[in-house]
Amino acid sequence: MSWLTLQVQAAADYAEALSEALLARGALSVDMLDADADTPDEQAIFGEPGEPTSAVWQHNLVNALFESDADVAGILQACCDELGITTLPQHRIETLEESDWVRLTQAQFDPIRISDRLWIVPTWHTPSDPAAINIALDPGLAFGTGSHPTTRLCLRWLDNNLQGGESVLDYGCGSGILAIAAMKLDAGSAIGVDVDAQAVIASRDNALANQVHADFFLPDGMALAQYDVVVANILTNPLRALAPLLAGATRSGGRIVLSGILAEQADEVMRIYAQWFDLAPAVLEDGWCCLSGVKK
């Protein structure tokens, strides 16, 4: 069995309406992605405190799935006519063959060696080094499997710098991987915060699977406190807006770790956080960087 996929480059003023029109005309599923993802123009649209938000990105990729016999080109044209879109947007139609998606997905995720003693291991694998600190983590709905350079950079910082007993705040916790790693590296306590309720649920489940105690909250549920270590692996735009909050959450003499920053954005982020922190040189991997510093 096979299906047809449609990907349309859609502007913000009609992306949602086009998605609904495609569903109404027989699409089996529709999703939207930021066409500028992983570039300096990547746009946060979720509710970070202090960050202006919008319903959709400025440049969207609308992806739709159809039965193999659907007239996808005709459906797209009809939707555009219905919405008054006079110029057919750039798009492509492809055939998607049936596959064992579980096996294909699992094949993409092998154990990841973070350091000599720290590994990320999907649950369908046997740990390569049973004596190491192995974090059991499967890919899911929340960001953070250890496969992205920014996650690896933060994990290595924790591995190299935690001495034991520290209080850790993971802001933008995603899967909870950094808070979980902190606890496995002998932190005294770890709190994770995320604007996505699904990420909070995933983080709690992952902590339970790893037999560590860490608390996870939405931002409104986070108690006002200061921490020995604050980690924020998010994106540059939220890091700009959250600078006063993250600085305020770091105790005097405490340390901050920032990632999700493209290499060319490092100087700007450093200028902002230099108000509160003495910052070390950026650590780079595959075009991404990790910044760290000590609270003045």
CATH code (residue 165): 3.40.50.150
Do residue 149 and residue 226 come from a single domain?
Answer: yes
Same domain, 133 and 90: no
Per DSSP (E only), the strands in the chain are: 2-11, 29-34, 59-67, 91-97, 112-113, 118-121, 133-136, 167-171, 189-193, 215-217, 227-233, 250-262, 277-279, 283-285, 288-295
Give me the domain span that covers residue 51: 2-98
Average pLDDT over residues 132-138: 88
Give domain status of residue 187, yes or no. yes
Please state, in angstroms and as integers, the Cα–Cα distance from residue 197 to each residue in 12, 118, 137, following that order.
Answer: 25, 28, 19
Residues 94 and 125 in one domain: no
Q: Tell me what pLDDT residue 41 has.
A: 67
In single-letter form, the type of residue at position 149 comes to P
Q: How confident is the model at residue 142 (pLDDT cuts 50, 70, 90)?
A: low
pTM for the model stands at 0.67
- The verdict on 232 and 184 lying in the same domain is yes
pLDDT recorded at residue 189? 97
Answer whether residue 44 shows pLDDT above 70.
Answer: no
111 is a domain residue: no
For residues 193 and 171, is the Cβ–Cβ distance under 8 A? yes
Residues 192 and 281 in one domain: yes
Q: In residues, how long is the chain?
A: 296
Lowest mean pLDDT among 42-46, 100-104, 237-241, 242-246: 100-104
Q: Are 239 and 262 in contact (CB under 8 A)?
A: no
- What is d(CA 111, CA 179) in angstroms, rounded to the nearest whole number? 19
Dihedral angle of Cα 206, 53, 60, 41, to the nearest 10 degrees: -90
Select the highest-mean-pLDDT range: 26-35, 38-47, 159-168. 159-168
Q: What is the pLDDT of residue 49?
A: 47
Q: 286 and 147, same structural domain?
A: yes
Domain boundary among 42, 64, 98: 98
In this structure, is residue 110 part of a structural domain? no
Whether residue 269 lies inside any domain: the answer is yes
What CATH number should be reported for the domain holding residue 39?
Answer: 3.30.70.120
Return the percentage of the chain with pLDDT > 70, whole number: 88
Tell me if 112 is assigned to some domain.
no
Same domain, 176 and 89: no
The pLDDT assigned to 55 comes to 57
Q: Are residues 231 and 268 in the same domain?
A: yes
Tokens of 145: 């499997």
Asked whether residue 201 is domain-assigned, the answer is yes
3-class SS at 3? strand
- The stretch 8-20 carries a mean pLDDT of 92
pLDDT for position 50: 46
Note the pLDDT of residue 40: 74
Residue type (1 letter), 248? G
**Residue where a domain terminates, one of 34, 67, 98:** 98
In a domain? residue 105: no
pLDDT score recorded for residue 43: 64
What digits encode the pLDDT tens for the residues 51-74? Answer: 444 456 788 899 999 999 999 999
Rounded Cα distance between 121 and 145, Å, is 9
Single-letter amino acid, residue 238 = P
Say whether both 147 and 77 belong to one domain: no
Q: Could you report the per-residue pLDDT of 185-240, keeping only the tens digit for each?
A: 999 999 999 999 999 999 999 999 999 999 999 998 888 899 999 999 998 999 99
- The answer to whether residues 174 and 240 belong to one domain is yes
* The two structure tokens encoding residue 73: 């080109």
- Whether residue 168 contacts residue 228, with contact meaning beta carbons closer than 8 Å, is answered with yes
What pLDDT shows up at residue 47? 47
pLDDT in tens, 92-131: 999 987 755 545 455 556 788 899 999 988 877 787 788 8
Same domain? 215 vs 179? yes
Q: How far apart are CA 288 and CA 282, in angstroms?
A: 10
Q: Is residue 28 part of a domain?
A: yes
Q: Do 88 and 9 reside in the same domain of the chain?
A: yes
CA atoms within 13 A on the CB side of 20: 6
Mean per-residue pLDDT of the chain: 88
Domain count, the chain: 2
Top-confidence residue, 281 or 145 = 281
DSSP label of 276: T
